[in-house]
Each structure stands twice: as C-alpha cells, then as structure tokens.
Structure 1
Amino acid sequence: MINGINVDALHRMVGDVAADAAKGEVEFEVRSRWAGGTRSEARVDRWRLGGAEGPRDFTIVVDEPEELLGENQAPNPQEMLMAAFNACMMVGYVAGCSIRGIALEKVEIHTRGMLDLRGFLGLDKTVKPGYDEIEYTVVIKGDGTQAQFEDVHRTVIETSPNRWNIANPIRLVSSLVVEG
C-alpha cells in the first residue's frame, strides 16, 4: 500500500485493461431531481465496469447561495463542477505517485473561474454563460523529486477524464420528455 492505494491491485487492473479493452469500459449515471427553489438532489445508484453492474448509494445535494436565490445549504453547480474536476485529477496524482513508489504527504488543488451572470440570465447575447478560463494550482509534497512530480503532473494533464472533458468539446445528446 502506498498513499492508501493497493499498488499490486492497480498493476493488475492496468494489466487486465491492457489485455482486454472491454474490461476498461466504465459507465457512470446520475439522476437529478428538483427539490424546491434552487435545490436539487442527484442520486447515484449504480455504475458499470467491463459490462458488470455494481451498486452505489449516494445522494449529492446542490443549492445556490442566498444571493443567487438559494438557501445556501449545499455547494452550487459551479462548485460541484470544480470539485469533480479536482477530485478526478486528485485520483490521477495519488495513483500516479503510488505506481511510481512516491509516498505523498500532501496534494491540494485550488480551482477558480469567473462567470458573467449576464450570459446565464440571457441579458446580453455577446456574453457567454460559461467560463472564459478556469485556473487551477496543484500543491504536492512527498518523497518524489521535482522531475518525478513534473512527470506525474504531465500524465494527469494528459489522462484525467474530467480535465479532458472540460478542456475539450464533447458531444452532448439531449432529449426532453414532457409529462401530461
């Protein structure tokens, strides 16, 4: 075990996926429902890995600050986006260091971005509803060298799914069901 990661199991998983690409196919699913006001609750009930379904049992609550018409009872959607972005990369840093035998003392990721509400509110068509830029800083400490940490950093940049999804356009397929 290094950094709480079973490195032998990690090597086995990498070997299994390298030998059979179907074992690396992962599907995630989240169902969100409105819970009044600006609050929503997302349910995570299951996931699939290599064609096998596994149970999950999590509720994620989302709300807005009072100034954005919420009750300030939970992180807002943008904070959840950044938390998911950070968490995905965090796995990459911890696993990447573990597989290289680097013991960690600390990994922190600080992320921020600025939105212009005129875009979200539809007040100005020249203002986009999303970010122009998201900044993040990674602080890492452990028994690795500067070069090793830079290698892990490059690997995370190249392989983090959430980083990739934010940095690159992905196709979104939308449908609407109106109940009568």
Structure 2
Amino acid sequence: MDMQATTASCLNGLDLDKMAQTVNALSHEPMLARFQFRARNQWMGGGENRSTIKDFYGAGAEDTSRTEPFVFTNGEPPVLLGNNEGANPVEFLLHALAGCVTTTTVLHAAARGIRVASISTELRGDIDLQGLLALDDTVPAGYQGIVVTMEIEADCSEAELDALLQFSQQHSPVCNTVCRPVPVTLVRAPRRPQA
C-alpha cells in the first residue's frame, strides 16, 4: 500500500498515522498479517438459523476486544418456505460483498490521498434455484453473476477513480474470495454421546 504524504492525520474517517504504523509493522513482520475469522451457527427450525461472531485470531494473538458477539439471523421469504426471519444467506453474501468492497475502496483511497465524500452501492445477484433443488445438474447452485454498481464522489480525476475501483475489486477480500475458487471443506463433527 503506497502511503502518500498528507497534512491531515485523518482521511475518510481513517487515522493515517495508525494506517502507516500498521502497514510498516506488517511489511516487517508478515506473520502478523495472518488472521483467522470465525463464525458459529445454530439451526433454529425450518429455514431459520443464527450465526454468532465474536472471537478471531489476528496480529499474532487471539483478539479479546469484543465483549458481546454479533448475532445474525438467517431466514427465507415465504416463497422459499420461510417466514422472513431475516435476510437469506445469499442476501448476506451481497451484504458482505458490498461492505468489503466499500471498506477496501475507502482504505485505498485514503492511502492514495483521495478524499471520499460519499459511496453508495447497489448489488444484484442472479440465481436459478434449479441448482439448489437439484432439478437440473447443469445449473450451478450459487449465483450465476453479481453486478455491483458503485456511486462514488471523490476529489480525484475519472481516471484515478477508475484505477481505484479496479484496484479495490482485486484487493477486497470478499470480492477476491467470490471471484476465485476457494477450497471449502464441509466436515461432520463427531456425534455427542447420548445421555
């Protein structure tokens, strides 16, 4: 990440001194850049389940800064046999993608000295449920395509903005995960002994 000199110590809501310290630390000790994020999920019934997210490993240690977990309810709309208990998992994927692309853009804009006035995104994902329901083996079970339309106001040229967005797409962890094959292993935990 190229840190350009700037007179402001804060840009786009980010502390530039802390950003420079973080980049410097990670460039000198690459092992500090290794993180492991975790989520736990419990089925509630029907199409409803809840995920809790609290602990993670990063910067060389277990993080203990979160005192309470974040709780997210996954549900389904009635047309998909649910009761609108919450957004469904493929909608949460769009939420995660939007959040990550936005944060990555803001971070790298600050690193380039670009002041962002506003960002809003609209995401559309096309999916054919024949894949999920195993009605047609030629249809993928997941999204067939996702379009992210970003409206951004920033103090830079159109060419700089295009370069920033292309860079952000390539370096957003969620976008990168979705855009390349990532091994996912589904394993069954051992059964608990019956009481």
- What range is the shorter-chain TM-score in? over 0.9
Unpaired segments ≥5 residues, structure 1: none
**TM-score normalised by the chain length of structure 2:** 0.87
Separation (CA, whole Å) in 2 of partners of 1:52 and 1:147: 40
Matched, 1:21 2:34: no
Matched, 1:89 2:101: yes
From 76, 79, 82, the equivalent of 1:70 is: 82
Map of 2:163 onto structure 1: 151
Deviations 1:46-84 (A, max 9, x none): 011122111332111111111111111311101100110
Which deviates more, 147-156 or 35-44? 147-156
Superposition RMSD on alpha carbons, in Å? 1.4
How far the C-alpha of 1:138 sits from its partner, in A, is 1.4
From 106, 109, 116, the equivalent of 1:104 is: 116
Matched, 1:162 2:171: no
Runs of 4+ deviating beyond 4 Å: none
Separation (CA, whole Å) in 1 of partners of 2:190 and 2:25: 43
One-letter identity of the residue aligned with 1:116: D
From 35, 43, 64, the equivalent of 2:52 is: 43
Map of 1:8 onto structure 2: 17
Unpaired segments ≥5 residues, structure 2: 1-9
Select the structure of larger CA radius of gyration.
2
Give identity over the alignment, percent.
28
Which deviates more, 142-151 or 64-73? 142-151
From 112, 118, 125, the equivalent of 2:130 is: 118
Separation (CA, whole Å) in 2 of partners of 1:96 and 1:128: 34
Structure 1 residues 95 and 63 mapped into 2: Cα distance closer, same or farther (>3 Å)?
same
Q: 2:124·2:147 contact (CA, 8 Å) conserved in 1? A: yes
How far the C-alpha of 1:17 sits from its partner, in A, is 0.6
